[in-house]
Structure 1
Amino acid sequence: MSTFEVVEICAGAGGQALGLEKAGFEHALAVELDGNACKTLEANRPNWKVAQGDVADEDVWRPADHRGVSLLAGGVPCPPFSIAGKQLGANDERDLFAWAVEQVAVVQPRAVLLENVRGLSMPRFAGYRQHVLDRLTQLGYVADWRLLQASDYGVPQLRPRFILVALRPEYAPYFHWPEPQDHPPTVGETLVGLMGANGWSGAAAWAKKANKIAPTIVGGSKKHGGADLGPTRAKRAWAEIGVDALGVADAAPTGDTPSDFRPKLTCEMVARIQGWSDEYAWQFTGRKTTRYRQIGNAFPPPVAHAVGAAVMSALKRRGTPREIESSEHDPVYKALRSTSEYLSPERLMKNAGLQDAAELERRISLLSRDFEVEIRTVGTKTGYRLGKFKAFVGQEDHERHDLFLKYRARIS
């Protein structure tokens, strides 16, 4: 094909979009809930079609209209899986990961790219991940997960992202996860020019002290107040670098600022730490707090570029094909899913390769948070059977609809 189009859901303010564009994809559509982020997308790429609203609402866009697109991509909401949150997963009204996977059956893209927070890689969500892999296999795709560190791709920040890539079988052998690059620049090296832009004499000395990469930028949510650089632990890490994390500045320090001053970062500086630069040029619209949230919640463009380029290479069948290895995340889920019968603890442990009954109970407990696990007791014997997935996948009667409407104003 001469062009490789992408439909991007939950596009945010354009971090992934810019990276995918750099990798050679052309946006057929970008869908985003937040109006401020949509304005930023439209300001930077007036020729793109941007749809604002609930991505699961067919009045906003119709997945079937984009059948056969090269890539379906997105950064669906992170709070359902965030370590800092309650990790409600399938029970969180913001969870759209399972729904996004179901759209693969409708859109039938050649490739899928979905990213989320590190929390989704934890044992808590082993069953959820296994369900996603199994569902994509049913739909005819070869899928894999990988935890990537933004700092491995030139971004001066600790920002792990859990990435799902799925491709049709004819392309999957040509997909290789991008190799890590050399060490990223430090915060000081990245920001010294911006920090000294208004004549601050202490910029060079500050940059020398700020000789580490940054902690993860936290975009925050609409439930809380203005912009700052994260919780107490992150603020301590910023203080060690020489940054006042209690808020975001309007401008860099001026010429009359004391040389030993501890500066705050501006939105432009935060964007630079997120990977935007002269190479990844982008402008953000709105007031300071709005801009900060757009920047802080983004997928760093250089990381999206690296993964997007790997997907593009696979779609063009470049390089040496590899052997496809199966990926297993939850043997208990797989054992339960393999039959409609009730399985005894002994049989379930044997099928799942477990030796410890306590470990089986722990895994059943985790699994039951995202799935209905039926338990039947007959006399002294107990049996388990896997019930339905609790996540929203498009059901008209799912409680997600009412909860979404109730909390829409604070969803970010």
Structure 2
Amino acid sequence: MAPERLEVVEICAGAGGQSLGLHNAGFTHRLALELDRNAATTLSHNLARLMQAEGMSPEDADLEAKAIVKVGDVADPSLWDPSDYKDVDLLAGGVPCPPFSIAGNQLGATDERDLFAWAVHLCRDVQPKALLLENVKGLSGNRFSAYRQHILELLHDAGYVGEWRLLEAHQFGVSQLRPRFVLVALQKEFAEYFHWPEPSKDPAPTVGTLLEDLMGANGWAKEHVEAWAEKACAIAPTIVGGSKKHGGADLGPTRAKAAWLKLGVDAMGVANDAPGPDADGEHVPKLTTPMVARIQGWYGKDSHWEFQGRKTTVYRQIGNAFPPPVAEALGKAIASALRKEKKRTDSVEWDRPELDPVYLLLRHHPDKALTAQKMADLIAKSGGKTLPPPEIERRIAHIERDFQVEKTARSNGELAYKLGEFKAFIGQQDHARHDYFVQHRGKVS
């Protein structure tokens, strides 16, 4: 007998990569929120198809899906009331990446698009049994160690045990170099049952193996398709969805384009169709959106996920998605923990690892202004890794990009530091995010 399905509220749901993975892992959506209307239309359309496959009539499935998927700013209180979804099994989402991307300025908490801290604060109102948030690899860097530490502290204070983990999509069967930085947090009752998903024992298929049938679907000669597939003998670079601020669909920056060319793919755009019978053996094909979707993890029956909109917006929906196989693996691991299926044998004291000792000193001495030398002495006394004052000052420079830091000069010229407020948006009515959103709503992605 199949276990009872669990319920999920998904924010920043996009076109449904994470949604599909969580559905396959045994979750049913109570609510899905998405800003982009095209992506929301895709998600609603396909959730209805999933409901029909489970026996619901087309009319009822369409009405149900449209009630589940809401279009708008997830932080707009007029769009939804988080308290209506209190105690849901899972709160999940892929909040905006630009605040942490190495391709941008890594503004973190001062980027008006940052919703990571807001999503964590949302746990106080919704009190989900589990939280799943994913983002780009840039969030895992030293630049954001204090930011990550603060997130774990917030979760701990709200009764959750949280952990960060960098996952590689290709380890879960996705034919792509796509690292994603994932936060999983569970209420303490369930935390001791959570195990991170194990990578697949089988390697991800090569681009050639994965796309050979699609590349030959429009009449390109079999011998040319086979030669192309033999050349495309590795997994793909990271698919980049891009943002509404930039132009049409292509497969990424200069380095990525060079990597694609080695695989026999023209990355300067996305084609409407696979190569036809007139293409010769020297032809370097572009990918179509169905090919990109398959590289992103829509395989088999799931490759028929029906994307809505024109080519560029469809490509963006696919490129910005969380690969369904990775979401499914995480969803199954979380579902297992919520069902208390397998207790951990090790300690669950992974709730607050020491990611940034400088931040911790400042946070846990709120009434004291500490010099870099004093912090170095305290860290050494605690048995932690030795940090000289210049390294501490470098870390403080990172910290003050995300937090208010009060500085006072001592008589000997040394600066003393005291930690102030977190700069991130967590729902404040007077936050700069609101003005930014009104002015740039059409370009926010």
TM over 0.5: yes
Aligned equivalent of 1:210:
232
Aligned equivalent of 2:34:
32
Q: Report how far residue 328 of structure 1 moved.
A: 2.1
Q: Aligned to 1:132, which of 141, 145, 151?
A: 151
- Does 1:325 pair with 2:349? yes
- Does 1:195 pair with 2:195? no
The 1-side partners of 2:377 and 2:211 are apart by 56
- Does 1:395 pair with 2:428? yes
- Does 1:336 pair with 2:359? no
Deviations 1:198-227 (A, max 9, x none): 121111110010000000000011111110
1:59 aligned counterpart, secondary structure: coil
Letter in 1 for 2:100: F
1:174 aligned counterpart, secondary structure: coil
Aligned equivalent of 1:109:
128
The 1-side partners of 2:204 and 2:91 are apart by 29
Which range moved further: 325-334 or 171-180? 325-334
Q: Report how far residue 123 of structure 1 moved.
A: 0.4
Deviations 1:43-64 (A, max 9, x none): 1113331110000001111111
Aligned equivalent of 2:282:
260
Q: Report how far residue 394 of structure 1 moved.
A: 0.5
Q: Report how far residue 320 of structure 1 moved.
A: 3.5
Q: Report how far residue 97 of structure 1 moved.
A: 0.2
Aligned equivalent of 2:403:
371
After TM superposition, list the pairs within 5 Å mapping 1:223-234 onto structure 2. Answer: 223-234=245-256
Letter in 1 for 2:343: T
Q: Report how far residue 388 of structure 1 moved.
A: 0.3
1:280 aligned counterpart, secondary structure: helix
The 2-side partners of 1:41 and 1:363 are apart by 42
Aligned equivalent of 2:393:
361
Query: Does the 8 Å CA contact 1:280/1:301 hold for their aligned counterparts?
Result: no
After TM superposition, list the pairs within 5 Å mapping 1:2-401 onto structure 2. Answer: 2-46=4-48, 47-48=64-65, 49-181=68-200, 182-201=202-221, 202-281=224-303, 282-322=305-345, 323-326=347-350, 327-340=353-366, 341-352=368-379, 353=384, 354-380=386-412, 381-401=414-434
Which range moved further: 251-260 or 15-24? 251-260
Which range moved further: 86-95 or 323-332? 323-332
Task: Give the superposed CA RMSD.
Answer: 1.1
The 2-side partners of 1:168 and 1:12 are apart by 26
1:42 aligned counterpart, secondary structure: helix
The 2-side partners of 1:292 and 1:197 are apart by 20
Deviations 1:66-106 (A, max 9, x none): 00000000000000000111101011111000000000000
Query: Does the 8 Å CA contact 2:21/2:324 hold for their aligned counterparts?
Result: yes
The 2-side partners of 1:237 and 1:15 are apart by 25
1:170 aligned counterpart, secondary structure: helix
Query: Does the 8 Å CA contact 2:194/2:343 hold for their aligned counterparts?
Result: no
Letter in 2 for 1:219: G
Deviations 1:313-356 (A, max 9, x none): 10011123232133221111111100121112222123344331
The 1-side partners of 2:377 and 2:192 are apart by 33
Which range moved further: 335-344 or 264-273? 335-344
Deviations 1:139-175 (A, max 9, x none): 0000000000000000000000000000011111111
Query: Does the 8 Å CA contact 2:272/2:288 hold for their aligned counterparts?
Result: yes
Q: Report how far residue 280 of structure 1 moved.
A: 2.5
1:45 aligned counterpart, secondary structure: helix
Query: Does the 8 Å CA contact 1:200/1:259 hold for their aligned counterparts?
Result: no
Q: Report how far residue 279 of structure 1 moved.
A: 4.0
2:300 aligned counterpart, secondary structure: coil
The 1-side partners of 2:433 and 2:46 are apart by 33
Query: Does the 8 Å CA contact 1:115/1:164 hold for their aligned counterparts?
Result: yes
The 1-side partners of 2:415 and 2:246 are apart by 46
Could you tell me which runs of 5 or more consecutive residues in structure 1 were left unpaired when the two chains were aligned: none
2:302 aligned counterpart, secondary structure: coil
Q: Summarize the Cα distance change of 1:154–1:279 in structure 2 as closer, same or farther, 3 Å threshold.
A: farther
The 1-side partners of 2:278 and 2:136 are apart by 41
1:115 aligned counterpart, secondary structure: strand
Could you tell me which runs of 5 or more consecutive residues in structure 2 were left unpaired when the two chains were aligned: 49-63
Deviations 1:343-401 (A, max 9, x none): 12222123344331110111000001000111111312432110000000011111111
1:78 aligned counterpart, secondary structure: coil
Query: Sequence identity, in percent?
Result: 59
- TM-score, normalised to structure 2, is 0.91
The 1-side partners of 2:23 and 2:371 are apart by 52
2:32 aligned counterpart, secondary structure: strand
Q: Report how far residue 116 of structure 1 moved.
A: 0.2
